[in-house]
Amino acid sequence: MLIISVNGVNAEDNSLSDLRFLVDESNDTVNLDRDYEFVQTDSEDGVFIDKDIKIYGNNHAINGLNSSTLLQVSNCNVYMENINFLNAGNSALKIIDSNIVIKNCTFINNNAMCGGAISFERNCNGVIDNSLFFNNSAYKGAAIMVNTGESNLNVSNSIFNNNAVPTNLVIENIDGEARLFSNDNILDNQMYYIEDNLFGYYSNISFVNVSYNDFKNQSFNIKKGDFYSFGLENKTISFEVCGDGLLINTTNTTNHVGVAAIDYAGLALGNYTLKVSYNTLSDTKEIMVRKDSNFSIAVEDIYFADDLIIYFNITENATGKGHFAIWYNDTAYDEIYDWKLPYYHPEPIFDGEFNLNDTKVIVPYLEVGNHLLSVSYSGDDCYKSKDIHQVFTVYPIDYNKTGMKTILNASDFEKYYGDNKRLELSLADENNNPLSNKIISINVNGIVYNKITDNSGKISMAINLNSGYYTFVASFKGDDVYLPAAEISTITIQPTIHSFGDMSMYLGDGSKYKVECKDNAGNTITDNAVEFNINGVKYYRSNFDESGYASLNINLAQGNYTITAINPVTGEMTSNLIEVLPLIKNNHDLVKFYKNDSQFSVQIDGILPIENNAVIFNINGVFYQRTADENGIAKLNINLAPGEYIITSEFNGCRVSNKITVLPILKAVNMKMSYRDGSTFNATLIDGNGSPLANTNVTFNINGVFYQRTTDEKGIARLNINLMKGEYIITSSYNGSNIANKITIV
């Protein structure tokens, strides 16, 4: 064994870099005889350990000065004893895929986002004994964070005090419930642990003779499947409800999941403000006072092959949505009832919405066993939401009945569309003797067909369904001698016409719509004309490619279309949507002030390369050609007189039109005045952004006499009028913009 101590180094050699050098140079044991602390030249990642080692601290400290992780342990075995870990800035210890023993250590004033003192990440095994965790903090895991992975942690004879994570207070719904919760869930909310149900990772954690906050000498285990709430229990929450003044001012205590609630049903229907407070925390939310809905359900146990009927009743004028879900038994229902696993629910076997105007929901094809039914009403502006849970049983069809057992053979059935193959079933007794003249009921798509068995105990039935996948129930109800029997099976109708689905293309890109056709025996058709129908226009094509696909060239204008193809042998149809995209995009109407810098632009698409392509612009019959840049954008300067114009952009047969509005920059109104009454004719000038344009000359023309006046800070140019009685036309001009007005002098 090689033991290295620090006796031979200088007293100032106490940085984390020095400690790392010491660890790197040792074989398997390090003894400390001085304190170490972070300096500016140290890495904020701390001392990295990736080999098996024992570190004896001899009551010395490693101090991060609130700037650094202290030690990172990865993929190795480490023993630590009698070390003081202080003021870490990002966890004192980070343990990753490693085994560690920590004895007689203290962790004080360390902080991090996750795991203020210690963060266990991925798969770790840890032993912590006779250690102190005090005044550590984090967003999650004030003292310890056990992250995803399969880890084992044993904590014994240790003390946890005053380790803190943020506490949150939120109003969770509009029915008066507030939840107070911590970001930690163990050791009086000083440690973070959560199972990873998504990937099946669990940790086993045990505490022996541990003290925390005001709890002394506690021992308990956390194992797979345990759940620990983040809610803070038995805390007093203040509630204030305001409308026209303060209407409710009360308190309530949180339950085991940190939820406290008040009842404000006595208030009139309407909107109010709810404020909740706890110490320095508060939350405010707008709430609606609503009535309890008269929502109820009725459901009974059924026999296999029977439909489950969920009867429901609700207040007559209630609006909103109804929802139901069904789960098989054998899964834990606690998480559905009590939110015990808030991030995971088992997948229901049936899940859907129902219309509140109906009175029942019918659910077919349930297997034998116990089931959980959840039916919910979403609520509306007048009525509260409501959830109802009920367990029901699907019994075997011959449950609690006497007689000779029967065997109903109903195999899965498959055929091509249009094939005359028939569905065949047989009925026999328990000795496999055929039963003749018995009624077999077949329920397909909610329609029941009754067939009578022949002398061989068989029935057959023509299947004329569209292509697709169906479930059917075949049942024999039984009689005085024979017990009932039932089977759930499937019908698969293979399509005889197949396309590649909906289609999106650019105008004129040469795309084809293709279908493959087969006869009712599954053989590919290559010698018949396939009918295509686009918006009522029919096309016939018999040009099959080497893969057996018939195709139709799509030469449509931009827009959305529905295409239907018909198999020439079986008559089966398939329909798809075709979207023809324009080659010009990002064309927008333009509103600009006269002669400002605004340009009209379009972007071409669906062609490569996109640069250096010519785009034609047409304004009032005048054509302009512009070349697209490297981004496919073509721009046109707009130097038009004030007014409204239609601009058409054209590229490779694609045309799009937009409106251009040019706003005037000069404004004036007609004027009526008395002879020499001191009135001025005013013209207002604005710049290209619509702001007043000051200190700028405006030219006025009256009967061929020109005057120039300078605009003030409001952009107004004023001309004194000293004309004889009569009517005059005055023209105001600036930078090519001219407006004419009438002056009347009386």
Long-range contact pairs involving 670-677 (C-beta distance under 8 Å, separation at least 24): 670/741, 670/742, 670/743, 670/744, 671/721, 671/741, 671/742, 671/743, 671/744, 672/743, 672/744, 672/746, 673/721, 673/743, 673/744, 673/745, 673/746, 674/745, 674/746, 675/724, 675/725, 675/745, 675/746, 676/722
| Phi, psi angles (nearest 5°) of residue 19 | -65, -40
Number of other CB atoms surrounding residue 420 within 10 Å? 9
Domain ranges of the chain: 3-166+181-222, 236-289, 296-395, 406-493, 497-573, 584-663, 666-745
The tokens for 647 are: 């601009």
By residue count, the chain amounts to 746
Digit-coded pLDDT (tens) for 402-459: 999 999 999 999 999 999 999 999 999 999 999 999 999 999 988 999 999 999 999 9
CB 628 within 8 A of CB 604: yes
Q: Give the pLDDT score at 528.
A: 86
CATH class assigned to 296-395? mainly beta
Q: Give the pLDDT score at 280.
A: 81
Task: Tell me the fold of 584-663.
Answer: Immunoglobulin-like (2.60.40)
Q: Give the pLDDT score at 426.
A: 96
For the chain, list residues with pLDDT below 70: 1-12, 148-150, 172-176, 182-186, 190, 192-204, 209, 213-214, 217-230, 329-345
Q: What is the DSSP string of 686-701?
A: B-TTSSB--S-EEEEE
CATH number of 666-745: 2.60.40.10
Q: What is the DSSP string of 92-104?
A: SEEEES-EEEEES
CB 735 within 8 A of CB 704: no
Name the strand (E) or helix (H) holding 18. Answer: helix 16-25
Digit-coded pLDDT (tens) for 1-16: 444 444 433 335 788 8
Please state, in angstroms and rounded to a whole number, the distance separating the CA atoms of residues 547 and 527: 13
Short-list 616, 613, 655, CA closest to 630: 613
Please state, in angstroms and rounded to a whole number, the distance separating the CA atoms of residues 83 and 56: 7
Domain 497-573 identical in fold to domain 584-663: yes
Please state, in angstroms and rounded to a whole number, the distance separating the CA atoms of residues 153 and 161: 19
The three-state secondary structure class of 336 is helix
Question: What would you report as the CA-atom Rg of the chain, rounded to the nearest whole angstrom?
Answer: 41
Short-list 392, 404, 338, 387, CA closest to 368: 392
Task: Tell me the fold of 406-493.
Answer: Immunoglobulin-like (2.60.40)
For residue 568, is the peptide bond before it cis, meaning its omega torsion is within 30 degrees of 0?
A: no
The CATH architecture assigned to 497-573 reads Sandwich (2.60)
Short-list 36, 35, 117, 129, CA closest to 79: 129
